[in-house]
Amino acid sequence: MPQPASTPAKPRIEGIFTPNIVPLLPDGSIHEAELRRYVDWLIQNGVHGLYPNGSTGEFTRFTCEERQRIGKIVCEQAAGRVPVLVGAAEANVRETLAACERYAEYGARAVAIVAPYYFKLSPESVYAYFREIALHTPIDVTLYNIPAFASPIDLPTIKRLAEFERIVAIKDSSGDLPFMMRMIAAVRPMRPDFAFLTGWDAVLTPMLLIGVDGGTNAISGVTPELTRKLYDLTRAGQLAEATRLQYRLLELFDAMLYSADFPEGIRAAVELRGFQVGRGRQPQTERQTIDYRMLQNVLQCILADFGCAAAPAGGCPPRTGNIDQDRISHIAATVVETLRQRGAI
């Protein structure tokens, strides 16, 4: 099989890579100063790498020029302290390769490229797409398998693509543990340097236990110190403590993921950590704005349990784990606190 020119060996992609959100100004433009501050905070709190232009970063809601600007800002601010894996998925092969060239110039460690979306493609077409990229990219490539939103990359295709030197990793966001095990079993014997990353936060510890090298985990953008701790505990074999932390972080993950249109829950939680995230580019109704405030109350109480935020002024009612029911409890608690402050009760 034809290969691109050989390049010096680079360290395996491993650890926790944060798929960062993008703070926005009131006019909807990129809040560069806040993005830089956010990058510094993530690095200072232990993440192993950064991952701009991922799903959490809402890459489809930015123009091609904006995506490249985001990638440049993150690479500049990281300044070699941690590796940067930049999402480089564009509408077609030509534009994707142009993005690869740009991110190589910016000093990214690698790019992540989602399989073609919108059109449902056969495995052979998916293979042809990535083969074209692998033969011409100047930067290492991580395959991004997210079958809920793009053409799936099946196991035979992954094994074929792993023959290309420039394809060095796969990020799988299916959360399918047996599928990950099958990938590792099929690819690792032929490519010991090939990295496997999970994009599903809810199973980070189990994935690490079966041989995954790390993850691109949205929750690390909210609690980088706790996600790093979970990674370190699992790697050190302290499984009882790691499992307890995994279960606790699961509540935060579920609240962020299932309580609002993705990734609004994550943006709400990052705001609670002290960042001016601004309003997302997806328009919202008045009802959604109210729900967002109630979601923040729930998230604030969860973060308060971890010592990552102060509890709301009115305190935290008991949580049930059912986000809708917990919202109602927070609404009731807020009303009671307001009446108490006004001397009505």
Quick: pLDDT tens for 226-247. 999 999 999 999 999 999 999 9
E strand or H helix that includes residue 143:
strand 140-145
pLDDT at 2: 45
Supply angle C-alpha 186, 111, 129, rounded to 5: 65
pLDDT, residue 332, reads 53
In angstroms, the CA 51 to CA 214 distance is 13
Q: How far is CA 13 from CA 7, 48, 129, 196, 212, in A?
A: 16, 9, 23, 8, 11
Helix (H) or strand (E) holding 114: strand 110-114
* Region class of 116: left (phi > 0), else alpha (psi between -120 and 50), else beta: beta
CB neighbours of residue 339 within 10 Å: 11
Residues 6+ apart with CB under 8 A from 159: 186, 187, 190
Residue ranges covered by each domain of the chain: 15-258
Q: Which CATH number among 3.40.462.10, 3.30.200.20, 3.20.20.70, 3.50.50.60 corresponds to the domain 15-258? A: 3.20.20.70
Cα–Cα distance measured from residue 126 to residue 287, given in angstroms and rounded to the nearest whole number: 40
User: pLDDT digit of tens for each residue in the chain (345 aa)?
Assistant: 444 444 556 889 999 999 999 999 999 999 999 999 999 999 999 999 999 999 999 999 999 999 999 999 999 999 999 999 999 999 899 999 999 999 999 999 999 999 988 888 999 999 999 999 999 999 999 999 999 889 999 999 999 999 999 999 999 999 999 999 999 999 999 999 999 999 999 999 999 999 999 999 999 999 999 999 999 999 999 999 999 999 999 988 998 888 788 899 999 999 999 999 998 888 888 777 767 777 788 888 888 988 898 888 777 877 766 666 666 665 555 545 544 666 666
| Residue 35, both tokens | 């993005």
User: 122-128: which pairs have CB atoms within 8 A and are 24 or more residues apart?
Assistant: 123/154, 123/156, 123/157, 125/151, 126/151, 126/152, 126/153, 126/154, 126/157, 127/157, 127/160, 127/161
Model confidence pTM above 0.75: yes
Q: Round to whole Å and give the CA distance between 237 and 248.
A: 18
Q: Give the model confidence (pLDDT) of 201-211 as tens digits.
A: 999 999 999 99
Residue from 31, 111, 107 nearest 66 by CA:
31
CA distances from 84 to 43, 48, 57, 80, 109 (A): 11, 9, 14, 8, 5
- Of 120, 102, 100, 111, the closest CA to residue 142 belongs to 111
The predicted pLDDT at position 288 comes to: 75
Pair 250, 202: CB distance under 8 Å: yes
Closest CA to 197 of 109, 104, 99: 109
Report d(CA 20, CA 232) in Å as an integer.
21
Q: What is the rounded distance in angstroms from the CA atom of residue 303 to the CA atom of residue 311?
A: 8
